[in-house]
Structure 1
């Protein structure tokens, strides 16, 4: 038997590397393939820190997004746009936001209507770049929503109440991936109840002759393990009983007659002990041949190659150079086939050290609180970082810390594993040796999400189809009036104010794209197209971007307004009663009203251009498609002219510049059009009114023609040539969290019943690692809980929970 101590010499895959003398030709090939994959498919992750773990209808949900790149979680420089969706109980998107990612962070919020039914909702966040790896890599977090409308349920009923209870299930997973005859192996298992959560299970293992080999019982959240040494010619089954009394018999995976296994003991903080075992048949066939073990951690890899000169080879791998998080061991056969893989978790305690201090040990209600934060890294160096802070009244918002999805549990654990990890924060709070062993069960019962060696070595990953969004985009298709693609035409994008223009040439298929734009919320634009010869006989289609599909989610949060939600709703009810007393209640919801007309705003128009000299209403214009012809001789003092018999413009009579008529400025629905705007690009049937203004006070213009279109028309009712009005979703501007200021700690006429006491998504430590913030307590007495999460420029993560008393 051989035993070696391996001091991991990590090869960084983000830069050039040297294949060590240990490496074989295959090892170099494997590292090259991995390097190429990580370069072309660089990992990007998103995590959202919320102000509370659950909400009531009528609340505002505040959050900060952390977007990281690579396996070291550095603030992402890949994407500039984050898509965030609020998904309802029917797996439909209720609200969507576009957030501007700056320095790897963004902030946002959702106003939750008070009409929402109770149930399990989700928030999903992703970038376009993440879509290359499918929706399973998105941030996707369920949350419980309670409602005072106890009898109101969503259309078709609450999804959770419709679920048909199923039977518990169990999976048996041999360490390293397979059983081999003659080798004693650890077999992990995970039992899952009908609600999708772990369920206790116990039973016996028997062979095909009925002989009992061993017994087993779960130890944590339905997970456990036992040892089995399979014999040639025998099969094995488990007879088990679940905690709910259900019984079942399950066949274990068949054992291979010839093979090699990979086992690891990860109980030690300092090292992981690896054992490679070949059964007799495999040893005789491969004696002296080289096996390679690839250790992958935090975006770096090292290779250990050893000849099989003994049936059992042992390695002790020092972990101090590995990176905290999920790491992999992969064993490759002499011919370069991945034959066994083992996940393990590295806990090097290298997260940021956040020191939180309050100016007092205990406070009064409505008293000012001053909190100081100091951040250091593992080397005890002071760091500048970006943090978010939530403060909640824990008596009103009790939380099970084990079930929380945190910055650490998400980026270091769950985002790298397939399937649902139950109670993820359990493994990051008050860490003990026992918890580390239970975390190893998670490694044994979940697959690795980032890549698979067989696909990687065989170039089995599809090419990148989604490119990073660095800004917003408006795209579409331009065609001729005959329906043919407008090749090499020019499309102009005009801003709402009419002062900003962008132009792009269409490709041979008529496609156009305006990229890397920045604008806020829902913004109105006009698209205008012209042929290569300057003609406007074109048709435009705006291609609104579609999001990825919403997959069903079976994770459980609540079934009814019970437990913590019940306590939370009692406070919500008190808040509503108090608002009603103040005359600020929500009132009665009206039925939907369809607006058929739009109120005119003469003050806004007159402030910009003066009062109209003449108004021509749409009913006076009459029907017809060519507006210019309809307007000839209809507006006093205004002439409708054409320079080429095709394009028409308006000018004031007898007003010339340099011997040539000067066009009037056209203002369409409040937006100034570029000079040369063709009146025939509008259809007469769409016009509500036209106002002419002669004295605009601008010596550079020859008057203004303000055109207002009808409000109630649908896009398909409007015949337009050469231009298209659109509304595009821009970057969302997050609401500021309201935090009251009090001059006295004496309770006022109305109680302060806030549940979120303070929310700040933008706490920045200086070069000395210091930051401070302050706020005022509410009227609730008891324990207030501060949660601080954040990241520095090098990808070091930090989280701290701090509590104080309010008396």
Structure 2
């Protein structure tokens, strides 16, 4: 595959001190053929598999049911240029059970798209994961898709608030105790109330009991014995008896697990006897967050060699010069009072290593060191150094091993801001040692934000001025602007995900990065040192030389989307394709039509069809000879299933207490907007929609399904089972069987139980179901108290509800035609673009009464479509403040220009 992109290859010569004189320019010679071949393969790989990234800017870090999530997507390619490959971006929202709650499909213009999610007032409180991607990105490791955890609380009509703390579990003899406090809507403790509880591990009950709350509303629950691993994947359910109602609360026990993990990362990859080395140490709790520590290293004779301690979020460094024939252990004391002993990685008796010193602001200093055994065995052999960023080779040099130590100083002006991967190769082109460094330069777009006044009153107009520059030149930039009330929405600035942390740092690293914005908030010696330790502990696998040398290329299943494509095949009644058949497309809501001709395989395709998500499309092959014997088969769109939750440590546990001020304000705002007026109620009989609660065979399932798919999603679907497989995200479809994705990925191959109108059926039976007859599909990740899974050795439940036809009604001929259309006509609703709502910003006239009641907005202003002037780089915006005095408004401006220069600025002003 070739996207006809020009890829410059920049090769530089190590210059400077006399120690570098033995490095020579990279020119065609016999002993450098392997490196030239490597560079050529790297160039081809980068050209054939360009790297797209997605970043999503949100107006707030957390939300409440009834809110609107305002967002803007930025899609870049290669070194952060606005992507011209993909014209469509997807933003999915999953709940904690990996079920798809909502999804946005948005058209990209200059690599940018605005969108929003309207959160239902009935949305369950919890931690939701938003994932952004293009179809092209699905060809690669899902770890590099944009992921962000957003906490959503719900205080609307809430009767019980909870707060949980865990104690114990530090030893095998001390069980873990959960202390849960229950309070009412006013914060009053719910005393002397019965609480039933049970614990599930992998959807199986592992313990249950009953307790009463004390005078302060606390229920003390001793959890059943479990290993840290099992406890980390368990869930505690509580049901408090409030007479008329019995609210159920769910607690994921990741935070209860006292398990921890300690890893050691020698610089360059290996510890080598006789060579002084930096070893990064990282300690994390079971919840993925860093754990501070102090430690000592002892050798196999028990002699203390060195001491060390964490310097930031459970990461630290120790210095060690391993001796031949010795082994080492680390004795560590953790901040939670526990201790442990861990083996230091094995020592290589012969080897060569690459190290880097990144503390100099102007130069990157690197060193190659070989111990005596390796030097004697490899003297005068050729070695290569290659540095790349985003797949682009930025630096390459070669040398002969004529000394055991080489040092070099490389000007950082050769690199841009971001992660630089430096690799040492042998003469055979195989990587030997590798080091990541983060280059920080003053090459980002400068965004200067000011207001016409330093201080404002309530409901006063604000004139916001933004200036964008690259160096001294004006920048033609696309920006998004969010203004929030910090009193209502406190922000952990170090923990923020920003356009800089995402596109420059976390999008290139595997695994979770805790508090990523800490490394960008303040540039000083400590943050530079802490960032360097992060580079030593975090894995970079987006660009693997080993795969490139071995010819292991990604399998391309998804092509970049230029828009919405509607395609399919025209066949006759015997299944043979029709060559040069006529197919007509019609979109009634847009009064749009188009025609095309099928190819030799009977395939037709309509490109760049503009339809919204609810628009019906009709395909018609009537204008063909023997049309009654033709049938249209429509291609489905491949959907992305749920991927591993990389950002799980960002989940908040005690949402009711942590977000109390924000949730209380959101509840007042919701009630203000939804005040009931006097209405006259007339008795009418509403048709009851079929649900699982109607069927005795499904008694015991949760009252609300984890995921409900409306039957409209299947309208026009030719094969119901296949359409269900792409719609029920959180569910995996393999060999005509359905599985809970999370369990299946963990090796649990028990298929889901399937019920059709209350009767249990097998998966192949769904091949005969008419998709147009489906009212809804309810997806349950576990069987609750029904006992279905234990009885049938299944895992999870799919409930398929068919439409109920009113008794005594006759179908019209039009209805009959719709139910039994001729095979040469297909009507269905494809997945179109989501409609984007406009942010409402009220306008107040000074000195005049307003029809708007109290203004409780927490997001004061949101504008995702801000464009600076091409010649000046400036733009001016105007909006009005809300009510409330003695607060600070926080303005966040993010974006990129046409050349891919990134920028972010935070500005504050007071409202008195």
- The alignment's TM-score, normalised by the length of structure 2, stands at 0.71
Q: Which digits, 9 at most, give the CA deviation of each residue in 1:303-324, with x for residues without a partner?
A: 1112111110001111012100
Q: CA deviation at 1:227?
A: 1.2
Equivalent position to 1:317, from 410, 419, 427: 410
Q: CA deviation at 1:732?
A: 1.8
**Counterpart position of 2:877:** 773
Note if 1:763 corresponds to 2:766.
Answer: no
Equivalent pair of 1:168/1:242 in contact (CA under 8 Å): no
Pair 46,184 (structure 1): closer, same or farther in 2 beyond 3 Å: same
Note if 1:22 corresponds to 2:127.
Answer: no
Q: CA deviation at 1:351?
A: 1.0
DSSP 3-state at the match of 2:462: strand
Equivalent pair of 1:764/1:771 in contact (CA under 8 Å): yes
Note if 1:99 corresponds to 2:78.
Answer: no
**Counterpart position of 1:726:** 828
DSSP 3-state at the match of 1:29: helix
Note if 1:571 corresponds to 2:674.
Answer: no
Equivalent pair of 1:135/1:548 in contact (CA under 8 Å): no
Using the alignment, how far apart are the partners of 1:567 and 1:746 within structure 2? 31
Pair 710,56 (structure 1): closer, same or farther in 2 beyond 3 Å: farther
DSSP 3-state at the match of 1:130: helix
Note if 1:709 corresponds to 2:815.
Answer: yes
Superposed counterparts of 1:340-359, under 5 Å? 340-359=433-452
**Counterpart position of 2:341:** 249
**Counterpart position of 1:237:** 329
Equivalent pair of 1:13/1:35 in contact (CA under 8 Å): no
**Counterpart position of 1:4:** none
Equivalent pair of 2:618/2:825 in contact (CA under 8 Å): yes
Q: CA deviation at 1:137?
A: 1.5
Using the alignment, how far apart are the partners of 2:269 and 2:331 within structure 1? 22
Equivalent position to 2:431, from 321, 338, 341: 338
Q: CA deviation at 1:795?
A: 0.6
DSSP 3-state at the match of 2:659: helix
Note if 1:259 corresponds to 2:344.
Answer: no
Aligned positions, number: 681
Pair 802,513 (structure 1): closer, same or farther in 2 beyond 3 Å: same
**Counterpart position of 1:145:** 152
Equivalent position to 1:473, from 565, 574, 578: 565
Q: Which moved more, 1:555-564 or 1:290-299?
A: 555-564
Q: Which digits, 9 at most, give the CA deviation of each residue in 1:565-589, with x for residues without a partner?
A: 111011112223434556499x9xx
Note if 1:68 corresponds to 2:159.
Answer: no
Q: CA deviation at 1:283?
A: 0.6
**Counterpart position of 1:752:** 855
Pair 145,475 (structure 1): closer, same or farther in 2 beyond 3 Å: same
Pair 64,328 (structure 1): closer, same or farther in 2 beyond 3 Å: same
**Counterpart position of 2:897:** 792
**Counterpart position of 1:202:** 294
DSSP 3-state at the match of 1:757: strand
Q: Which moved more, 1:449-458 or 1:148-157?
A: 148-157
Q: CA deviation at 1:83?
A: 1.1
Q: Which digits, 9 at most, give the CA deviation of each residue in 1:733-772, with x for residues without a partner?
A: 3110000011136886831100000000011110211100
Q: CA deviation at 1:18?
A: 7.2
Pair 580,103 (structure 1): closer, same or farther in 2 beyond 3 Å: closer
Using the alignment, how far apart are the partners of 1:82 and 1:562 within structure 2? 33
Using the alignment, how far apart are the partners of 1:486 and 1:687 within structure 2? 38
Q: CA deviation at 1:94?
A: 0.9
Q: CA deviation at 1:551?
A: 2.2
Q: Which digits, 9 at most, give the CA deviation of each residue in 1:170-196, with x for residues without a partner?
A: 110100111111111110011111221
Equivalent pair of 2:10/2:393 in contact (CA under 8 Å): no
Q: CA deviation at 1:466?
A: 1.6
Equivalent position to 2:257, from 159, 165, 180: 165
Equivalent pair of 1:42/1:69 in contact (CA under 8 Å): yes
Using the alignment, how far apart are the partners of 1:276 and 1:552 within structure 2? 37
DSSP 3-state at the match of 1:467: coil
Q: Which consecutive unaligned segments of at least 5 residues does structure 1 have?
A: 1-11, 597-685, 691-707
Using the alignment, how far apart are the partners of 1:389 and 1:761 within structure 2? 6
Larger radius of gyration: 1
**Counterpart position of 1:376:** 469
DSSP 3-state at the match of 1:176: coil
Pair 592,511 (structure 1): closer, same or farther in 2 beyond 3 Å: farther
Using the alignment, how far apart are the partners of 1:75 and 1:566 within structure 2? 39
Q: Which digits, 9 at most, give the CA deviation of each residue in 1:155-214, with x for residues without a partner?
A: 988776254625011110100111111111110011111221111122222222222222
Taking only aligned residues, the RMSD between alpha carbons, in angstroms, comes to 2.8
Using the alignment, how far apart are the partners of 2:275 and 2:479 within structure 1? 50
Q: Which digits, 9 at most, give the CA deviation of each residue in 1:441-485, with x for residues without a partner?
A: 110011113211111111112343321000101233444334455
DSSP 3-state at the match of 1:27: helix
Q: CA deviation at 1:90?
A: 1.3
Q: Which digits, 9 at most, give the CA deviation of each residue in 1:316-352, with x for residues without a partner?
A: 1110121000011100113322000100011002111
Using the alignment, how far apart are the partners of 1:415 and 1:52 within structure 2? 21
Pair 574,517 (structure 1): closer, same or farther in 2 beyond 3 Å: same
Q: CA deviation at 1:49?
A: 0.6
**Counterpart position of 2:550:** 458
